[in-house]
Structure 1
Amino acid sequence: MSARKPYNPDPHAHPGLAAIALLEAVKAALAFLAAAGLEFSGPAPLRTFVNTLIRHVGGDPEHGSSSTLLDMITPDTVHVGALALVAYGLLRSLEAWGLWRARAWASWLGCISAALYLPLDVYAIIRHPGWASWLLLAVNLVVVWVLARDIGKRRPVTAR
């Protein structure tokens, strides 16, 4: 039997990777819980939630595209939504594992995926200014900054 190599993290990895890994693990767990909730509850509670959301933004759930959206919420679309949440949870789990193990590919994955949310965060601040929107933007900016620094620290320095 061969001895297993001990875990040896990259000495150039940023120390904030573990915190981001935990954040990603929590996001994965929430995605898995949401998928299970969708599967167990079925389309009725989702239709009620979407109906309430449409009314909250000033729409009319009885007419137009809102009505079409509500009609599209069926058991089959709930299964597709749950499957999408499971896929998202798996991606976040993979990222969390990679960041916990200080893998460079995980820093790239996390940096790109967090950066994709930044325009949406700015839009949220414009549409719904408040401490929650600003906090979300700040967290995503810190994540992008830490992961970008980690990527930069790992790049080999070439002599000129």
Structure 2
Amino acid sequence: MKSLKITSELEVYDSLDELPREVSVLMQKAFDARDNAYAPYSQFNVGAAILLENDEVVTGSNQENASYPSGLCAERTAFFYAGAKYPGVKMKRVAISAKSLKHVVVAPVSPCGSCRQVMAEYEVNQEENIELYFMGETGKVLKAKSVKDLLPLIFDRSIL
């Protein structure tokens, strides 16, 4: 038997003030999207904003449903909309922010597994990394240079 060690390296920014201006602007769009979330059950609002290579910005927010599996996360809402509205246009970076209506979220909130898988599909298809910046309501911001930093053993079409 052999061991396989998998590591990921993320950049840590102590606050929004440390981010490059263009990333701060994108994160603000994620905040705006987050404020439009429909989350009456979890009271946990998430917003995502994607910068496309054509400089368009597409946003999404989580949309819950009384039948819980029927809801959709902010990241997938944004990615699917970008794919539908701008087919073939590469995604450069995504900013994600989460806010609870029950308490202040200060720790960075990373995308769930389903969202990581969807983002990996787009990243593999475009043959170019997608940068991810994610945070809570306030506090530190984490940056992944690629979806593969969050989902290193991706499942993609090369396996099929």
TMscore range, shorter length: under 0.3
The TM-score with structure 2 as length reference comes to: 0.27
Q: Which has the higher contact order (CA 8 A, sep 6+)?
A: 1
Structure with the higher fraction of residues in helix conformation: 1
Scaled by the length of structure 1, what TM-score is found? 0.27
Bigger-Rg structure (1/2)? 1
